[in-house]
Every structure is written in C-alpha cells, then in structure tokens.
Amino acid sequence: MATYDPKSRYAEDFINDEEIRETLDYAAAHAHDVALIESLLEKAKPIRRGNGYHCAGLTHREASVLLACDIPELNEKIFDLARQIKLAYYGNRIVLFAPLYLSNYCVNGCTYCPYHAKNKHIARKKLTQDEVRREVIALQDMGHKRLAIEAGEDPRMNPIEYILECIQTIYSIKHKNGAIRRVNVNIAATTVEEYRMLKDAGIGTYILFQETYDKKSYLELHPTGPKHDYDYHTEAMDRAMDGGIDDVGLGVLFGLEKYRYEFAGLLMHAEHLEAVHGVGPHTISVPRLKCADDIDPDQFDNGIDDDTFAKIIACIRIAVPYTGMIISTRENEAVRGRALELGISQISGGSRTSVGGYDEEVRPHDSEQFDVSDQRSLDEVVRWLMQLDHIPSFCTACYREGRTGDRFMSLCKSGQILNCCHPNALMTLAEYLVDYASPATAEVGWPMIERELARIPNERTRGIAAQHVADIRNSNRRDFRF
C-alpha cells in the first residue's frame, strides 16, 4: 500500500490518492473557517525583503482550503492577494510565445484528443525540414522569438532524432531581423537519455501535461498506447531533471476530472519536485478541454465555468508564487484578460494548432488539435496587452544567460526583476515595434516604452536600456539583454 511521501520517486507515493482525498475532506471541513482562511491569506502575502519580496506560498492542503472557500468577501481577498503576488514577482510583463505543431501522428488512444490512433479521418501530417523552415519564417515574420514545439507520440514517425533535427532547424533560421531564441518542448514522456539529448539541443522548458492526476481516470482516459502507463507519465519530470533539464512545466487538462482533485495533485507534484530536486516547476499551464475533430467536451462531465477557472488560477498563483503561469489561445479574450491579472505570466498569441498551419493564408482545420478561441493576430494581442497596461515581452534572456532552475527562482525572489526582466522586456518590445508592429500598435507601444524605462530603479541600467532601445530604433542591432 502506497503512503504519502513527497520525497519518494514513486508516482503513487508523491501523488498519493489517499492524501488527496484527505486533503479534499479537510478543505471541505474548513471551507467556512474564516479564521483559518484569513490566517492563510496572511501567511501567503508578499513581505518586503531587501529590494524584493518574499512570498511563503501554501501547501496543497492550505491552498485547497482557499479553493473550497465560497464566502464572497473572502474570495475577493483571495483574488486581491493573487494580484498582489503577481505584481510583486512578475510585475506587469507578459511573455509571448506560439506553439508549433511538428507532427500529429500518434500511437496513443487518449479519448479527449483528436490525434488518437483510432481517428482515421483526421489528416495526418508531419513537417519536413523544409516545411519547418517555412513555418518558422512565418512565425518570425509575425514577430515571435519563443516557440513551444508539439508532437504526437509515435516512435516510428516522430522519433527523438526527428525532434532534435527540427530543433536544430528552428534555431538555425535567421530571416531578416528574426530569430527563434528559445524552443520549449511538449512531447510525450521519455527516457533520461532522450531528455539529456533535448537538453544538449538547447531546449528551454520541457512541458508535459499530466492530463489527470487521478490514476483510475487516467487509465480509462488513456486506454491504449505507451501513455497508458500512469507511473511512467507521472515520473517523467523526475527523469527530465535527471537528464539535466531544470526548467519543467506542469499542467492538467481541466475538464477531464474533478478540479479540486487535480488542483491538489498539481500542487503535490510541485512540492515533490521541490523536495527531490530543490526546484519547483518553472511553469504551470491551465489548459481546458476544447472541441476538436471528433471530440465533444460535453462527453466529459467535469467542465468548469469561467469563475471557477479564475479561482483556480488565483489559488495556484498564491500557492506557488514564483512559478510562471501559462494560458493558451484555448481561452477567449475575456477569459484571458481576467486571468492575466490573477497570475498568468505567459500567453500564446496568433496560434494555429494544425500541422503546417502558419504557412497557410487561411487558418486550416483539417489537422487541428483543438479549436482556438482567441483567433486574433499576434499584433492585435500585443496591442491589447498594452492597452490593458501589460508589457508584451519577447524576452528569452534567462536561459541564454544560464538563469534556469533555482537561479531563475532567486532572480524572482531577489527583486532584480525591475533591473533585469523589465529592461529585457522593453528592449524586445522595441524590436517588435520596429520590425513587425502595425502603425496602430507602434503608436501605443513607444509611449509605453518611454514610461516603463523610467521605472527601472538602477540609474546605470536605465541609461544602458534607453541606449539599447535607441540603437534598436535607429539601426539593425538586435538581441541586447541583461
């Protein structure tokens, strides 16, 4: 019988079903415990430390109490605290990226994904290197600097050598002033050796969604294929870290199972990584199940409404204060706008979820993984962010400067964000405005850069950043970073 142990390397110990069920009982029993909830909010609030802030975070049990709380005034306080923590650690910058689908060949039987092996009518595609090149040029022409590559699991069609070759191709393309400077990877769970190969290929974050932490459901939702192996999937992040990847991204697919169970499991996974490897997840994603080729989300009983979704985001932000949080174009403009305030630090923009979709004039649907709700162009998303007073950032400096794993976390905690990430965001935004923006976007962007440069605390850094912005505006010099 498995017992709860965050330090164990066995999935059933660190995502322990009994512990999750006890957590949910505890949370339900304390959902109206005003004194406890107030004390948790007090514990989690940002405390000034030196130039920066310290946030204590919350355990999965504590955060589950906040999630269960249904007292309106306290929920308002929960949302307020999430906003404060977001600002303390991440400021008003939002990092932008796009997914790039390499291949939708897949041998798995995931019941919620249209790429499942039994789907015989979806168009199966795998990009050649020439097609990868065309996709990357289209993405560079939009202004993207950071990609997340996506592929189905198929050892014969999409072996690791294919993925590595694609990464090499992506990094090699320098088109006009463009470049992809960070490639994150979302491919199926694999071996330590293959993770090491990905690390050596210079990837940024390795992202793998758990889909559901509930083992019984997991086995039913993944009836066939290698992904059926719950333990192998759940222990993947440990193998990735053993392979030298210290930036890993967690996520569950909300809608498959009961959200409170998933929330506790997700936080236990984060606690496990911290306990074993000394560093928590670099990012947490919050995908929700969407309509797709032969998938109707209503077939699954656990869909969550927008308010619950917002509450989950706020509670993750409070519990794991320094993790990056990602929301994709699965969500519409209104949902994304609200989520940005509550803790999201990265969003995709101008996304296409089909294989080879960026090189097409009209959005193709035949090989799409799911419907995209936010169909605005990257330029529209960038302008919208600025109108909401968020700084769109195309920064990729941290991992290129070796600030990964706990080094990134200490940057976050030391308050150097305003002297480091903030100028980097402004310089990459200046690149975007000069090279790719529409006149309407540029008109909003330059005053924002002027305003935000003035907020850099260190005088010398402020001067250098202003000079680099001027260089970007007046020459072809690019890729400055702190």
> 3-class secondary structure for 165-222?
HHHHHHHHCCCCCCCCCEEEEECCCCCHHHHHHHHHCCCCCEECCCECCCHHHHHHHC
Q: What are phi and psi of 392, to 5 degrees?
A: -70, 130
Q: Which of 278, 266, 313, 284 is nearest to 60 (CA)?
A: 266
Cβ 132 to ligand SAM shortest distance, Å: 16
Stretch that binds ligand SAM, among 77-85, 207-215, 265-273, 422-430 (CB under 6 A): 207-215
Q: Could you say which of 24, 132, 185, 188 contacts ligand SAM (CB under 6 A)?
A: 188
- Burial 311-331, CB ≥16 within 10 A → b, else e: bbbbbbbbbbbbbbbbbbbbb
Note the Cα 172 to chain centre separation in Å. Answer: 24
CB of 442 to ligand SAM, least distance (A): 34
Residues from 107 through 126 that contact ligand SAM (CB under 6 A): 112-113
Residue 209 makes contact with ligand SAM by CB under 6 A: yes
Name residues whose C-beta falls within 8 Å of residue 18's C-beta, 6 or more positions apart in sequence. 2, 3, 4
Element containing residue 391 per DSSP (H, E): strand 391-393
Q: What's the closest the beta carbon of residue 207 comes to ligand SAM, in angstroms?
A: 8
| CA 479 centroid distance within chain | 23
Which positions from 307 to 346 touch ligand SAM by CB under 6 A, shown as an x/- string?
A: -----------------------x----------------
Binding mask 443-472 for ligand SAM (x = CB under 6 A): ------------------------------
Q: For ligand SAM, which is the closer residue by CB, 352 or 403?
A: 352
* List 102, 268, 270, 289, residue binding ligand SAM (CB under 6 A): 289
Query: Which range touches ligand SAM (CB under 6 A), out of 132-140, 183-191, 275-283, 461-469?
Result: 183-191
Q: Which of 292, 315, 316, 318 binds ligand SAM (CB under 6 A)?
A: 292
Residue with tokens 């200490």: 410
Give me the least distance between CB of 418 and ligand SAM, in Å please: 34
Least separation, in Å, of the C-beta of 101 and ligand SAM?
A: 7
Instruction: Residue count of the chain, please give it.
Output: 482
Cα–Cα distance, 433 to 473 (Å, whole number): 9
CA distance 171 to 146: 10
Asked if 260 and 312 touch (Cβ cutoff 8 Å), the reply is no
Q: Work out whether 67 is an interface residue with ligand SAM (CB under 6 A).
A: no
Closer residue to ligand SAM, CB minimum distance, 330 or 376: 330
Q: Do residues 183 and 149 lie in contact, with contact meaning Cβ atoms separated by under 8 Å?
A: yes
Token pair listed for 138: 């289209």
Among 60, 227, 239, 403, binds ligand SAM (CB under 6 A): 227
Sequence-separated (6 or more) residues with CB below 8 Å from residue 470? none
Q: Which of 12, 19, 62, 153 binds ligand SAM (CB under 6 A)?
A: 153
Q: Out of 290, 336, 338, 352, which residue is the one contacting ligand SAM (CB under 6 A)?
A: 290
Least separation in angstroms between CB 478 and ligand SAM: 31
Does position 154 interact with ligand SAM (CB under 6 A)? The reply is no
Number of residues counted as binding ligand SAM (CB under 6 A): 21
> Could you say whether residue 382 binds ligand SAM (CB under 6 A)?
no
Residue with smaller CB distance to ligand SAM, 149 or 180:
149
Considering the rule CB under 6 A, would residue 287 count as an interface residue with ligand SAM?
yes
Instruction: Report the nearest approach of ligand SAM to the CB of residue 413 (Å).
Output: 30
The CA distance from 404 to 10, in Å, is 25
Helices 439-453 and 378-387, packing angle to 10 deg: 40
Q: Among candidates 210, 209, 214, which has minimal Cα distance to 20?
A: 214
Which is closer to ligand SAM, CB of 60 or CB of 227?
A: 227
- Establish if 102 lies at the interface with ligand SAM (CB under 6 A): no
Per CB under 6 A, does 422 bind ligand SAM?
no
Nearest to 47 by CA among 56, 60, 38: 56
- Tell me the H-state helices in 396-438: 397-400, 405-414, 421-435
Nearest approach in angstroms of CB 306 to ligand SAM is 16
Smallest gap from residue 105 Cβ to ligand SAM (A): 10
Q: Is 22 exposed, middle or buried (0-12, 13-18, 19+ CB in 10 A)?
A: middle
Map residues 230-259 to x or -, x wherever contact with ligand SAM holds by CB under 6 A. -----------------------x------
Q: Helix (H) and strand (E) counts for the chain?
A: 20, 11
Which positions touch ligand SAM (CB under 6 A)? 112-113, 150, 152-153, 186-188, 208-209, 211, 227, 253, 287, 289-290, 292, 295, 330, 369-370
